[in-house]
């Protein structure tokens, strides 16, 4: 939306003995991006410390998780002789993003991907995954004395799944669901069974193994990189078995932490602007004036761009060039830093909502449509169902999820089309005349949902519309005019400030309106342009001052017209802006 939108946050603070309440609060918001600040201490006992552990873990990137080895006679040989050098419970301060909250029998924890923090005077490497327990925890990495959780009401797009070593059965169940259609990579942190040394490794999950008796489950990992203890690297391409805690293990690795990363969608490179259009010109090879010429605009992540103009002004041609349907053009177009001519590359980066609603399967339900169209991106059906339900809920049509689309209203059908376009987590959404044919109430409701998508999902949007007033809902507006093509680009306030009066006009109403009064006002030299809006007259002038108002009163009184009311500086809207530009063009 244009202007400054207040930052909406939901922030709560829990003490260490309120840890279960913190978990419940976080689990209720598991589909949101949650920030967490923790003050606490390490949880390890000194007899569990291995002399080479901190250095090995920092090298591995998982850093500083100390509780690895169950107490056993074999572990005694690993205790440093001079234990006076160790501070048993170093203070911890960290900030990060929550990746999981878990509640269950003997496994109450919050897993955090660290952004910044310290344990004692040692910095925690960014990206380290740590588990947080209550103030008496012994099985987690950190004992929490105070936890602050913050919800910014943005969707959590992290496709990674975290599993504690005690959750190996859940991890295997998840892998069974996704491995048929999706490649899954894994990072494992745990214990090398043979030597009881720490293990860190990453690679590709090949398959899941399930044994009925004795009952246990594990998965097979093709190692890309791995390390046992300090400096003992495993060769790339080695195949190992990964099991979990709490079982009679015959596996080579007993996992303490498991991070599974399904390759859903495409990897996106870093970019400055989510969309850049530079000097775009399209002429279709027709002699004469191009259809569009020297089109220039760009938007950032999360912004809404309105492409506003009449039919035949070049809006759809511009969109077709952006999404790769037109390749014969001059100029440059980049989507997320990628050349728009590479259609196969940019297609997964955007979602498209066509004007024609019959592109959906009208006899299918909304959820079935989402599954059908989402499957082309290689996303497992279970994940599509989960995402689809979330999106339908956010768009206010979850109750319609299992009704045929042809039974829905026009506005509801449009929202289903938007849900389909969002399910693969695009970076940018293109919507072609989404409010066309909707009544004013439905149009306003749809724009409320588009604004929510922008804020909550962080998705940029490009919305084509022939309603100038809808530009007020946008962060940026590209204006097109029939017969002229691309006109100009800027925020709604910037565009209005470019007109005489700097975004204001004198507005007056007569006791009895007469169109001839407009002709009288045009004779005043200081007036740039006059617009009629219903029974009101809006006067545009460079200087809106008392001298001008006196001239207006004098001219109208001389013509026999009485002024009912005058607003010296009325704020103009995008309809005023567009009508001004059209009238200016016709007068050229």
Residues 201 and 139 in one domain: no
Number of domains the chain contains: 4
Q: How far apart are CA 244 and CA 267, in angstroms?
A: 30
Place of tokens 């759809």: 316
3-state secondary structure 19-39: HHHHHHHHHCCCCEEEEEEEE
In the three-class reduction of DSSP (H, G, I as helix; E, B as strand; rest coil), residue 106 is classed as coil
Residue 364 lies in a domain: yes
Are the C-beta atoms of residues 517 and 325 closer than 8 Å to each other? no
Residues 92 and 112 in one domain: yes
pLDDT of 45 reads: 42
Quick count: other Cβ atoms within 10 Å of Cβ 393?
Answer: 14
In the three-class reduction of DSSP (H, G, I as helix; E, B as strand; rest coil), residue 222 is classed as strand
Last residue of a domain, which of 444, 474, 492?
A: 492
**C-alpha distances in Å from residue 443, one per residue of 206, 310, 319, 440:** 49, 18, 21, 5
For the chain, the distance separating the N- and C-terminal CA atoms, rounded to the nearest angstrom, is: 33
Residues 355 and 476 in one domain: yes
Residue 27 lies in a domain: yes
Residues 459 and 358 in one domain: yes
**The Cα angle at residue 496 between residues 495 and 501, in degrees rounded to 5:** 135
Residues 132 and 27 in one domain: yes
**The Cα angle at residue 456 between residues 2 and 182, in degrees rounded to 5:** 135
Residue 447 lies in a domain: yes
Structure confidence by residue, pLDDT tens digits, 229-242: 877 888 888 889 99
Q: What is the CATH number of the domain that holds 192?
A: 2.30.30.690
Residues 351 and 395 in one domain: yes
Residue 587 lies in a domain: no
pLDDT of 268 reads: 62
pLDDT of 288 reads: 64
Residues 505 and 413 in one domain: no
**C-alpha distances in Å from residue 181, one per residue of 184, 217, 219, 378, 382:** 10, 21, 17, 7, 11
Q: What is the CATH number of the domain that holds 504?
A: 3.30.70.100
In the three-class reduction of DSSP (H, G, I as helix; E, B as strand; rest coil), residue 534 is classed as coil
Nearest alpha carbon to residue 43 among 10, 89, 77, 2: 89
Quick count: other Cβ atoms within 10 Å of Cβ 410?
Answer: 15
Q: Kindly report the pTM of this predicted structure.
A: 0.72
Torsion of Cα atoms, 293 then 299 then 302 then 307, to 10°? -30
Nearest alpha carbon to residue 555 among 530, 582, 588: 530
Structure confidence by residue, pLDDT tens digits, 105-160: 767 899 998 999 998 888 888 888 888 998 888 778 899 999 999 987 777 767 78
In the three-class reduction of DSSP (H, G, I as helix; E, B as strand; rest coil), residue 516 is classed as helix
Last residue of a domain, which of 202, 227, 262?
A: 262
Residues 390 and 539 in one domain: no
Structure confidence by residue, pLDDT tens digits, 246-284: 665 677 899 989 999 887 655 566 788 999 999 999 987
Residues 451 and 519 in one domain: no
Q: Which two tokens stand for residue 145?
A: 């004395």
Quick count: other Cβ atoms within 10 Å of Cβ 291?
Answer: 18
Last residue of a domain, which of 205, 238, 262?
A: 262
pLDDT tens digits, the chain, 588 residues: what are they?
444 444 557 899 999 889 999 999 999 888 788 999 999 988 754 334 333 343 334 333 333 333 333 333 333 333 333 333 334 568 899 999 999 998 877 678 999 989 999 988 888 888 888 889 988 887 788 999 999 999 877 777 677 889 988 889 889 988 988 887 778 999 998 889 888 888 989 999 998 988 766 667 889 999 998 888 877 888 888 889 999 876 656 778 999 899 998 876 555 667 889 999 999 999 876 666 788 999 999 999 889 999 999 988 999 999 999 998 888 899 999 999 999 998 888 888 999 999 888 889 999 999 999 999 988 887 888 888 988 998 999 899 999 999 999 999 989 999 999 999 999 989 999 999 999 888 899 999 999 999 988 888 889 999 999 999 999 999 999 999 988 889 999 999 999 999 999 999 999 999 888 888 888 898 898 899 999 988 899 999 999 999 999 999 999 988 888 889 999 999 999 999 999 998 888 776
Residues 312 and 359 in one domain: yes
pLDDT of 66 reads: 34
Are the C-beta atoms of residues 131 and 38 closer than 8 Å to each other? no
Helical ranges in 325-439 per DSSP H: 343-346, 366-374, 381-394, 410-422
Residue 30 lies in a domain: yes
**Which residue(s) pair with 112 in the sheet?**
98, 130
Q: How far apart are CA 290 and CA 288, in angstroms?
A: 7
Place of tokens 């169950």: 70
Domain extent at residue 307:
275-492
Nearest alpha carbon to residue 231 among 188, 196, 198, 193: 198
Helical ranges in 18-106 per DSSP H: 19-27, 53-60
Q: How far apart are CA 39 and CA 32, in angstroms?
A: 22
Nearest alpha carbon to residue 509 among 482, 538, 486, 488: 538
Are the C-beta atoms of residues 421 and 343 closer than 8 Å to each other? no
Residues 149 and 165 in one domain: no
């Amino acid at each position: 939306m244009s202007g400054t939108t207040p930052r909406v946050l939901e922030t709560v603070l829990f003490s260490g003995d309120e840890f279960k309440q913190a978990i419940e609060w976080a689990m209720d918001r598991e589909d949101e991006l949650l920030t967490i600040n923790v003050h606490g201490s390490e949880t390890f006992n000194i007899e569990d410390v291995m002399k080479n552990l901190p250095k090995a873990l920092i090298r591995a990137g998982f850093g500083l998780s100390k509780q690895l080895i169950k107490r056993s006679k074999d572990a005694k040989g690993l205790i440093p002789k001079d234990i006076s050098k160790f501070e048993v419970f170093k203070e911890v301060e960290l900030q990060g993003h929550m990746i999981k909250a878990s509640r269950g029998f003997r496994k109450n924890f919050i897993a955090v991907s660290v952004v910044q923090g310290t344990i004692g005077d040692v910095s925690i490497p960014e990206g380290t995954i740590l588990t947080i327990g209550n103030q008496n925890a012994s099985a987690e990495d950190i004992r929490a004395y105070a936890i602050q959780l913050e919800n910014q009401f943005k969707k959590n797009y992290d496709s990674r799944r975290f599993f504690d070593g005690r959750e190996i059965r859940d991890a295997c169940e998840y892998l069974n669901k996704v491995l048929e259609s999706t490649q899954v990579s894994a990072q494992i942190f745990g214990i090398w069974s043979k030597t009881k040394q720490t293990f860190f490794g990453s690679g590709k999950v090949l398959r899941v193994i399930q044994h009925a008796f004795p009952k246990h489950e594990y998965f097979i990992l093709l190692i890309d990189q791995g390390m046992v203890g300090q400096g003992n690297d495993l060769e790339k391409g080695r195949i190992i078995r990964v099991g979990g805690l709490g079982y009679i293990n015959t596996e080579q690795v007993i996992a303490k932490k498991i991070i599974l990363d399904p390759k859903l969608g495409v990897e996106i490179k870093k970019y400055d602007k989510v969309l850049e259009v530079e000097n775009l010109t399209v002429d279709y090879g027709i002699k004469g004036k191009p259809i569009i010429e020297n089109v220039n605009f760009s938007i950032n992540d999360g912004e809404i761009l309105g492409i506003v103009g009449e039919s035949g002004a070049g809006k759809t041609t511009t969109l077709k060039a952006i999404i790769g349907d037109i390749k014969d053009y001059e100029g440059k177009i980049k989507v997320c830093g990628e050349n728009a001519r590479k259609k196969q590359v940019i297609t997964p980066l955007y979602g498209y909502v066509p004007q024609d609603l019959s592109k959906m399967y009208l006899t299918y339900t909304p959820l079935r449509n989402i599954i059908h169209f989402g499957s082309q991106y290689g996303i497992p059906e279970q994940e599509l169902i989960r995402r689809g339900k979330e999106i339908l809920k956010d768009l206010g049509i979850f109750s319609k999820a299992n009704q045929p689309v042809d039974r829905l209203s026009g506005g509801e059908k449009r929202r289903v089309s938007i849900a389909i376009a969002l399910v693969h987590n695009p970076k940018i959404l293109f919507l072609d005349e989404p409010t066309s044919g909707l009544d004013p109430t439905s149009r306003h409701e749809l724009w409320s949902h588009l604004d929510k998508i922008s804020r909550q999902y962080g998705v940029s949007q490009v919305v084509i519309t022939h309603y100038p007033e809808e530009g007020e809902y946008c962060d940026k507006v590209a204006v097109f005019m029939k017969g002229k093509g691309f006109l100009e680009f800027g925020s709604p306030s910037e565009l209005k400030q470019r007109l005489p009066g700097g975004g204001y006009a004198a507005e007056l109403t007569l006791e009895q309106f007469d169109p001839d009064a407009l002709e009288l006002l045009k004779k005043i030299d200081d007036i740039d342009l006059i617009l009629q809006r219903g029974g009101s007259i809006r006067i545009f002038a460079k200087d809106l001052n008392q001298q001008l108002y006196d001239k207006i009163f004098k001219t109208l009184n001389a013509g026999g017209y009485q002024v009912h009311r005058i607003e010296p500086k009325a704020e103009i809207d995008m309809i005023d802006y567009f009508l001004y530009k059209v009238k200016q063009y016709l007068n050229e």
